[in-house]
Chains A and B, each alone.
Chain A
C-alpha cells in the first residue's frame, strides 16, 4: 500500500506547490472567509458562486479554488458565533455557549484566537488522518451499518443530558420538542403528513436547520442586546488578547486532540453529516473537565472543543465523498458535480478515484490542510480588529444583523414563509431563553430527529428480515461489537451528564421569579406536544412507520411535562423551576420587550406588503433615526450602505429577495421586484 501511496503523495505535492495554485487557493480562502462571516450562509452558497467558472478550468486550479473556499467556512463562521452569539453555520452552534459570554466580558479577541488555533489544529489532524487512513478506510466505513448509525445518533442525543440545564426534565422535554419539530412534514417512510397539510405546502417539506438555528439562537440574542442599548462587551476590551488565546489552546492541546478525533470520526461516517459534531465535542469537553463551574459563563475550553472538531470534520467528510461518491454534506454534493466540470472531466469523484486519481485525492487532502493554515493566519490577524465590533453600540449593528439573517433565512426555501418561520422560532427562542429551557437540547433534538427516526425504522425492518432467517442472524445484526461499545459509551455519557447537569448552566445563571409566567409557558409547550401526539395518532396503519416515532417521542414529552407541572404546583417560587430572566435583568434594560420585537416584526410585515428591499430601506432609515437617535443624514448614509451591500451580495450569489404583495401586481425592476 505504501508503495502506491508515497509516489502519489509526492505527485500531489508537486501539483500543489506551484505559485499559481497557491494563489488560487488563497483566493478561494478569502472568498470562503467572506461568505462564512455572514451568518446563515456557508459552503453551498460559496460553491454555487464558483460553479459557473469551473467549466473547463485547469483541474488543480479549480480544486484549489473550491477546496480553499469549503475548508475555511467553519473557521470564519466563528466570528458571528463568538462576537454576536449567532451561530454562523451549523458547524459552530456550540461555540456560542462559551464564546459569546467571553465576548461580553471583553475577551472576544482571546476567544477568537483560541478558536482559530483549535480550528487550525483540527484541520491539520483531519488532513493527517486522511492521508494515512484513506487507502484502508473503505472496509472500516462499511462496518457502520444502520444499527451502528442509529446508535451514534442516540449517542448524540445523550449529549442532551449534560446540556439539559439545572432542571434535567426541562432539558429532556426541550429535546422532545426539538425532535417533534423535526418530524413536521412528510414522513420519510411512507409520506404521511405530521403537523402539516397539503394546503400549506411550506410545512410538508419540513423546517430547515438554518431557520431553526437562527431563530432559536440569533433572534433572542439580538433582541436581548438591543433592549439593553449598549455595546456587546460590557467592559473595555482587554488588550493583547490573541496571544493569550493561542496559549489557552496550547494548555488544552490534549482536549483539542480528542475533539479533533471526534470530528474526524463523525465526519467519516456517511449519513450523519456534521451538524451535531460540535455538540458532541462540547458535551465531551464538559464531561471530561475537572472544574465545570465556568461553562456557559465564558470558559475557553468550551470554545476549543467544538472548534477543534468542526474543521477536523471537513477532512473526515471527504472520506464518504471521495471513496463512495456519496456527499457527506450539501456543499460536498456541489463539490462532486463541480469537479466533473473541471478540465475535460477526467476526474470523477467516487470509488475509482483512489485507483485512477490517487495524486488528485492527496492533492485535495493537502489543499484542505493548507487552506486551513492560510485561513487561520488571516483570521487571527483580523481577530483583534474585528473584535472591536463588540465595543460598538449595538443599536448600530442590530439592523444589519436583522437584514442578513432575514436574507439568509429566505435563501433556504425562497418562500415568504421562511421569514415567518424565522420569526416564530425567534419567539420560541426568546421564551426558552427567558424561562431557562435548554436551547442546545432543543436544537440537538431537532438536528437528530430525522436520522433517529429513519435509522430506527430501517434498522427495525432489516432486523426483522434477519430474524426471519434465523434468531442468531438477527442478534448478530443488531448487537455488533461496535453497537455494544456505543451502548456502553452512551450509558456512561447519560449517567455523567445527568449527575452533573445541575452544576452546569450552559446559558448562564437565571434567577427565579413568579409562578405564573413559567407555568403558562410550560402549558404552551405541553399543548403542542399533546397536539403532535394526537396528530400522529391519526396516521393510518398502513403508514405506521411514520407514526411510531412522533408518538413515542410525544409520549416521553407528555410524561416529562406532567412531572414538571406537578412539581411546579408543589415547589416554592424560589425553585429553579421558575427561572425567569425578566425579573433579574429588567433593571439594566432601556427598552421593553414587545417594542423591541416589534421592529423585527415590522420589517417582516412590511416585506410581505412591499417586498424585501423597500421594506428594508424603510426599516433601516426609521431604526437608525428613531431608535438609535442618529441624524437624518447619517441614517440615509447607513441605509444606502446597507442596501448596497445586500444587493451586491445577492447579485454575486445570483439570489432573489422576498417579494411582497405589490410585486404580485406590478412588475418592478430588480432588486425591487
Chain B
C-alpha cells in the first residue's frame, strides 16, 4: 500500500468519524448518560508505578474524576508484566458492566500487537477508545558531531562510530533505530537500559553519542544540556496533521522533522516500503501513543460520557498550561478523532509489518513466532 493510499484512508476515516462524533454529542445531550456517583472507577495501567504511563494516568485521574458524571473516585491500578501484555490480556477478558473499568494502553502495548508477539491475546478492535494522547520525540547530538552535520550534512558523520543506549529493538526504540539506519548512520545500540532517562545519562557521561527523548523528557532533561552547550537538537520525529501528513512538531516548530532531514540526505527515501514502515510505527508509537479504552460491550452512552468528560477536561481554562508542562503541547484527541488515531495506530499495512519483522530478524536476530 502506498503512502497516498494510506493517507486517503486516514482522511476518509476522519470525515466519517467526525460525523459519528457529532451524532454522538446529540445523543448525549438528550440526557441518556451514565451516573457514576458514589462509585469507584478502576483505571488499569499495564505498567509499574514508575513509568511514563503512570505519570500520564496520575495526571488525568483527578481531572477526570471532576469531569465525569457523579464525580466517581478514580484509582489507578498498576498491573505490570510481560511487557504490558499481561495487563492488556486481562482487560481483553473483561466485559462492560457499569463503566467503572477503563484501560490505558501505550506504544509498548501497541507494538507487540502489531508485530504478532505470541503473548498478545488482545484485540484493539474489541475495545472502545475514549481518549488518545500524543507525544513527539527529539533526536540530539553532542556539539562536535552536530557541528559536522551543520557544515556537511548527514554524510559528514557517516563514518562515525555511534553508541546509542536502547531499551530494546522491539520497543519504542524501534522508531529511532530505524531512523538512524535510514540515514545511513553506523549505530551500535547498547541494550539493557531501564528507561530513556538512563539513555540520557549515558549521553551525559559521554558514553553514548546519539540519543532521543520523548517531548516531555526533552523539555525537562535535555533542554538544560542544550542551554549549557553539551547537547544540540538535531531533528524532531514530527507530528501528524489532520490529513495524516507529517509536519513540524508544534512543541518544537524551529526543528526540522526527520522527514526533512531524510529528504535532504542521499540514500534516504521518503517513499517505499522502508519509509512506509517507519511512518506506520512512528504513528503507532508517538502521535497516538497513549489511549484510554472502555472494555468490549460498552454502550454508546458510556463511551460518550467518558469522551465528554475528557472534552470537559480539555476545555478547562488552565488545561493548556498544566498539560504543556506535564505532557507537552500535543493533541489530546477525543470522540471521532480518537477513533482515527486508534485506527492509524493499530491498522498498519501488512507490507510495513512484514518489513519491520524482517528487519528485526536480519539486523537484531529478533524472532517473534
Contact = CB atoms under 8 A, between A and B. Distances in A.
Contacts of B198: 270-271, 326
Interface string B56-71: 0011011000000000
A192 to B, nearest CB: 9
B205 A188 contact: no
A191 B170 contact: yes
Interface string B305-323: 0000000000000100110
A333 B77 CA distance: 16
Nearest to B161: A465
Given A198-B119, A352-B224, A540-B365, A189 B50 contact: no
A337 B207 contact: no
Interface in B80-117: 80-82, 85-86
Interface stretch (B184-192, B247-255, B264-272): B184-192
B79 interface: yes
Given A334-B50, A337-B58, A462-B207, A189 B119 contact: no
A327 interface: yes
Contacts of B168: 190-191
A189 B81 contact: no
B62 A270 contact: no
Contacts of B35: none
A145 interface: yes
Contact of A201 (B119, B190, B207, B326): B119
Given A201-B81, A414-B79, A344 B322 contact: yes
Interface string B267-299: 000000000000000000000000000000000
A599 interface: no
B161 A190 contact: no
Contacts of A325: 197, 220-221
A51 interface: yes
Contacts of B207: 145-146, 462
A52 to B, nearest CB: 7
Interface string B187-204: 010111111011011101
B163 A351 contact: no
A330 interface: yes
B163 A454 contact: no
A543 B200 CA distance: 25
Given A55-B62, A351-B220, A545-B191, A345 B325 contact: yes
B364 A351 contact: no
Contacts of A415: 81
Contact of A542 (B224, B321, B365): B365
A465 B160 CA distance: 10
B366 interface: yes
B139 interface: no
A520 to B, nearest CB: 35
Contacts of B205: 142, 144-146
B170 A330 contact: no
Interface in A435-483: 453-454, 457-458, 461-462, 465, 468-469
A348 B163 contact: no
B75 interface: yes
B197 A654 contact: no
B190 A190 contact: no
Contacts of B201: 270, 324, 326
Contact of B82 (A201, A324, A340, A540): A201
Interface residues of A, number: 56
Contacts of A205: 80-82
A345 B322 contact: yes
Given A205-B82, A326-B201, A462-B190, A351 B221 contact: yes
A469 B48 CA distance: 40
Contact of B364 (A142, A540, A542): A542
A501 interface: no
Contacts of B301: none
Given A326-B198, A454-B192, A462-B163, A348 B62 contact: no
A189 B192 contact: yes
B27 interface: no
Contacts of B73: 52
Contacts of A462: 163, 190, 207
Interface string A519-555: 0000000000000000000001111010000000000
Contact of A469 (B51, B76, B161, B322): B161
Interface string A575-588: 00000000000000
B55 interface: yes
Interface string A156-193: 00000000000000000000000000000000111100
A51 B49 CA distance: 11
B366 A191 contact: yes
Contacts of A189: 191-192
B191 A327 contact: no
A629 to B, nearest CB: 42
B16 interface: no
Nearest to A415: B81
B49 A330 contact: yes
A413 interface: yes
B78 to A, nearest CB: 8
Contacts of B138: none
Nearest to A477: B207
B225 interface: yes
Contact of A48 (B49, B79, B86, B190): B49
B119 A351 contact: no
A201 B365 contact: no
A351 B204 CA distance: 12
A608 interface: no
B54 interface: yes
B30 interface: no
A327 B50 contact: yes
Contacts of B86: 201
Nearest to B74: A52
Interface in B202-219: 202, 204-207
Contacts of A271: 194, 198
B118 interface: yes
Contact of B81 (A330, A413, A465): A413
A326 B73 CA distance: 30
Given A52-B62, A142-B204, A190 B119 contact: no
Contacts of B77: 654
A190 B189 CA distance: 11
A340 B192 contact: no
Nearest to A412: B80
A413 B194 CA distance: 18
A341 B326 CA distance: 9
Contacts of A51: 58, 76
A453 B192 CA distance: 9
B192 A188 contact: yes
B192 A457 contact: yes
Interface string A36-50: 000000001000100
Contacts of A541: 365
A303 B77 CA distance: 37
A487 to B, nearest CB: 20
A642 interface: no
A90 interface: no
A458 B190 contact: yes
B103 to A, nearest CB: 15
19 contacts: A44-B49, A51-B58, A188-B192, A190-B365, A191-B366, A204-B82, A205-B82, A271-B198, A324-B200, A324-B221, A326-B201, A330-B50, A333-B51, A338-B58, A341-B59, A453-B192, A458-B190, A540-B365, A545-B191
Interface of A: 44, 48, 51-52, 55-56, 142, 144-146, 188-191, 198, 201, 204-205, 270-271, 324-327, 330, 333-334, 337-338, 340-341, 344-345, 348, 350-352, 355, 413-415, 453-454, 457-458, 461-462, 465, 468-469, 540-543, 545, 654
Given A145-B205, A270-B198, 5 more contacts: A189-B192, A201-B119, A350-B221, A352-B224, A413-B81
Report the 5 A-B pairs with minimum CB-CB distance, sorted nearest first: A542-B365, A333-B50, A188-B192, A55-B62, A351-B224
